[in-house]
Amino acid sequence: MAESGASPLPPTPEAPSPLAHAEQFVWRTARVLEQRRFAYHFLGGGADAVETALSAYRNEDDGYGHALEPDLRGPVSQPLHTAHALRVLASIGRCGGQRVERVCRYLTSVSTPDGALPAVHPSQRGYPAAPFVPIVDDPPSELLATGPVVGLLHRNGVWHAWLFRATDFCWQAVESLEKSRPYEIQAAVAFLDSAPDRPRAEAAADRLGRLVREQRLAALDPDHLEAYPVAPGYAPREHHFPHDYAKTPDSLARAWFTDAEMTRSLEFLVGLQQEDGGWPVLWRQWAPSAALEARPVVTIEALRTLRAYGLSVD
């Protein structure tokens, strides 16, 4: 009991909301692009500012480089950088027009003989890259690189000659998946969520959902992660959860999980926010700069996922 006449204790300050906490993290650590993206998605900022920041990564060949995807350093255009750029443009409603037509010309120029994209073009050789990203002279076609790009272009009503062969490749790759890994499944979902043939996409997604559960590719109980194997070559904490596959409620992957499983997944995602306000990078880290630049990207996507499911972050 306080003595008579003693000054009252100051009120305990309220903890900042997840969004306010993340905002401070973004201003402290993020590149200009992620600062502009955060402002657009959560603070009423404009799309023009995002587009201007993104243009700094564009090259004369109409691809994107300059470590836009932080695990590939150096100036040269790469499919993974360009896919990242398309995701940014789509998120601000600017994935169309002559700009994307030019991007498709770049994608055509780096495609493999079957019309798909390699994860990494050989032009990366000589520049730093994550050790888990192989650089070879004749890179194979990758669903990991092709699926998300093709899905984005279909979703935004883009039509280009390159898309026909790339779409055929994605169908063949998705429908032949047997033993798979989480990132490959994510790429398949990104394609199927926007593939034009909806009945075929729904059938393929239903099969993949059974595969994910049978192969335990989704950690359904975050309190017992030891029960879920981490894919070979992944980092020790690099589990994947229902929210990683079904990033929005209208994704075909949402049907793979019960309401209880999705609720646990989203609660786990909320709990991953760090003391500094950002979300962690769970994949293998190989360079401080790459991890520093990736965390704001991960943070923005975590907040967008939570908001998509109606969870308050304000």
Residue 2: per-residue pLDDT = 45
- Report pLDDT digits (tens) over 203-233: 999 999 999 999 999 999 999 999 999 988 8
Residue 267 binned pLDDT confidence (cut-offs 50, 70, 90): very high
Q: What's the DSSP call for residue 129?
A: B
Q: Is 108 exposed, middle or buried (0-12, 13-18, 19+ CB in 10 A)?
A: middle
One-letter identity of residue 82: T
Looking at residue 11, its pLDDT comes to 57
In 3D space, the residue among 99, 97, 74, 95 whose CA is nearest the CA of residue 86 turns out to be 95
Mean pLDDT of the chain: 95
Over the stretch 113-170, which tens digit does the pLDDT of each residue have? 999 999 999 999 999 999 999 999 999 999 999 999 999 999 999 999 999 999 999 9
CA distance 201 to 191: 9
Look at residues 208, 176, 168 and name the one whose alpha carbon lies nearest to residue 189. Answer: 208
Terminal alpha carbon distance of the chain: 36
Predicted local confidence at residue 7, as pLDDT: 61
Residue 257 DSSP class: S
Q: What was the pLDDT predicted at 254?
A: 98
